Amino acid sequence: MKLTTNYNDNNYDIFVEYNVLNKDYDFNYYDKRIALIDESVYRLHQQKIDLFLNKHSIFKLLIPGGEQVKTMHHYSTVVEKLLSMHVTRHSCLFAIGGGATGDFTGFVAATLLRGIHFIQVPTTILAHDASIGGKTGINASSGKNLIGAFKRPDMVLYDLDFLETLSQSEKLSGFAEIIKHVLLNANGHISKSETLLEIMHDVKDEVCLSELHAIDKWITFGIQTKMKVVHDDEFESGVRKFLNFGHTFGHAIEFHHKLPHGIAVMHGMIYALLLSDVTESDIMSLMRWMHRLGLKKLAYDNFDIYYELMRQDKKNEANEINFVLYYENNGYKVEQVDVKRLRKAFERLRKLEG
Ligand code: NAD
Ligand code: ZN
């Protein structure tokens, strides 16, 4: 399946398929081709990756797996290494790995020589989100993704064969962002969990998820939703903010409980719905389905801990905490929520999930 972005210029193709790496591409336009590869992914898929690299004369640079690469230290090491290899503005980096590898490589590509080319080769379900939309970045010691740039890739090669080696929790984490995209799309009946469950009936439990039932369809759906939103608002002044649904509380949970991103966002979406005008029985059936998919109950800590973490979120303005909320009649809305309301919803969440 080939999707293409719909900007006025600089559009790029997104190929989503099994074994898409093995198809024919012409990368001769680029004077140097260098792949930055998550070392864990390389270990698991060496044969497949080497075949691709050899076929297109792409040089290989292994980088630390996952989130740990998104630091100033690794940024500086990799940039110096690339400069010593005499890259030019006609060179191209290939990001082979999950969202962290894509964010890191994209940021290197955005800043090196004021911008060189890059191609995303995502290897996680979650990266259906991260590889689209052009946000790149690394972490600062004071917070996630605080150093970054907007940079569109030249192409996205999404080879679904990679997904088979994901752990069950990485599958669930990635699928959470797909659920978010479906919720954002199902505007008008988000709260009717029945409807949502009907739409997503082919992934009814943990076994379906582990066997990656219909995953190509859901990844394509997620990409199309994200493409539409970022097309309408590339630089996040309007509707792109809705993509933050579930993330304000989710980020606090992710940080405090050290959970995979999407799993934290699942808890965050339930919390955001509790702040919205959705009925408790609808929220309950959504939550029960998430538990059937493998979401574990969380032993919540004191509200004040999460509150402090939410206050640090960079999406806030003027010290108020911003939430993406859903209203039956008006759809999504970004709203400042005061501490009293936050605390009350938290107590309900603790009761529901407990
Ligand atoms: P990740 O890259 O950290 O991958 C998660 C883990 O899975 C890592 O340990 C990695 O080594 C491993 N892994 C990757 N592919 C694998 C495979 N095929 N088989 C087995 N293991 C594999 O992260 P992610 O979950 O893909 O994405 C999260 C990152 O994406 C975060 O850094 C987040 O900030 C970023 N993100 C960015 C955007 C954006 O718009 N730029 C959007 C969402 C998330
Ligand atoms: Zn997310």
Q: Is 135 a catalytic residue?
A: yes
Across 95-111, average pLDDT: 98
Across 222-227, average pLDDT: 89
Predicted confidence (pLDDT) per residue in 115-149, tens digit: 999 999 999 999 999 999 899 999 988 778 889 99
Closest listed ligand to the CA of 244: 2
Q: What is the pLDDT of residue 74?
A: 98
Q: Is 302 a catalytic residue?
A: no
Indicate if the pLDDT at residue 164 is higher than 50: yes
Q: How far is the CA of 347 from the centre of ligand 1 (A)?
A: 31
State if residue 131 touches ligand 1 by the CB under 6 angstroms criterion. Answer: no
Q: How far is the CA of 124 from the centre of ligand 1 (A)?
A: 6
Higher pLDDT, 164 or 320: 164
Q: Is 213 a catalytic residue?
A: no
Predicted confidence (pLDDT) per residue in 257-316, tens digit: 999 999 999 999 999 999 998 888 888 888 999 999 999 999 999 999 999 999 887 666
Which residue owns the Cα nearest ligand 1 atom 2?
98
Q: What is the pLDDT of residue 189?
A: 47
Sign of torsion over alpha carbons 311, 313, 316, 319: positive
pLDDT grade for 191, boundaries at 50, 70 and 90: very low
Q: What angle do CA 176, 177, 182 make, to 5 degrees?
A: 95
Q: What is the pLDDT of residue 188?
A: 44
Which residue owns the Cα nearest ligand 1 atom 5?
66
Distance (Å, whole) CA 58 – CA 43: 17
- Say how far residue 205 (Cα) sits from the centre of its chain: 22
Q: Is 185 a catalytic residue?
A: no
Q: Is 189 a catalytic residue?
A: no
- 16 is written with which tokens? 């989503």
Distance (Å, whole) CA 5 – CA 14: 8
Q: How far is the CA of 219 from the centre of ligand 1 (A)?
A: 15
State if residue 250 touches ligand 1 by the CB under 6 angstroms criterion. Answer: no
Distance (Å, whole) CA 136 – CA 106: 5
User: Among the options 32, 135, 152, 180, which is catalytic?
Assistant: 135
